[in-house]
Amino acid sequence: MDFQNIKIAVDAIVFGYEKSELYVLLIKQKYGVFKDSWCLPGGFVKDEESLTIAVQRELREEAGVSVNYLEQLYTFGDDVQRDPRARVISVAYFGLVNPETLSLQADTDAQDAQWFPFHSLPVLAYDHAAIVQKAIERLQAKLHYQPIGFDLLKPEFPFSDLEHLYQTILGKKLDRRNFRKKILSFDILEETDEFRSIGSGRPARLYRFNPTKYKALQKEGFLFEIKLKEKEKMDK
């Protein structure tokens, strides 16, 4: 039997959304060949760890955060030279958070942790640019069939925030009337008695997502599916 000298790592792509901008959590390397370079939080899996425990640990150690929603994205290892330290296969996870709920604190082998706008990312170490691209593609696809966008918004939000979120992630302008009608037809949003002033117009009613109702509908065979009528490509 041939001897293998392959290491397993995990990387985390954490998306945040604030003020109509999609952000990615990055850390700055403290040591190694990529010292002072920005990259995704991550590291090697310990012998006694599961993959999910390892990625949560790395997020705590390198950025000081805990992320509730983490989903396995993809395994990166076709490029045998992707990591100059050794032959490393990385299992990537992506998560969704409201940045206001987290306080970043770099530690262990990270000298800094920051949010960067998705469209203005610095040059990333390793193959992390490709990992981020794969994550945004998955996020764009899932918006059509799963209401994960609500993980990125505040608990109560005007409907326009949800609309802007979809437009920002998809990079496209949407037919507002069609989008509103479609989302409200699922009956998974609750109207609140609260209003918020937006610009010079009249105050907008706030909504909240009802996860209990959504889960109940899923058990009944409900299918969350959005086929959006799109307008012109958004300017970057």
What are the backbone dihedrals phi and psi of residue 230, each rounded to the nearest 5 degrees, phi first?
-100, 150
| Region(s) of the chain under CATH 3.90.79.10 | 6-142
Task: Tell me the fold of 6-142.
Answer: Nucleoside Triphosphate Pyrophosphohydrolase (3.90.79)
Are the C-beta atoms of 140 and 165 separated by less than 8 Å? no
CA angle at residue 192 from 189 to 197, to 5 degrees?
110
What fold is seen in the domain 148-233? Arc Repressor Mutant, subunit A (1.10.10)
Domain with CATH 1.10.10.10 in the chain: 148-233
List pLDDT tens digits, range 25-62. 999 999 989 999 999 999 999 999 999 999 999 999 99
Q: Model pTM?
A: 0.88
**Tens digits of residue pLDDT in 179-229:** 898 889 888 999 999 998 877 778 999 999 998 888 888 788 777 777 656
In this structure, the dihedral spanned by the alpha carbons of residues 165, 168, 172 and 178, taken in order and rounded to 10 degrees, is: 10
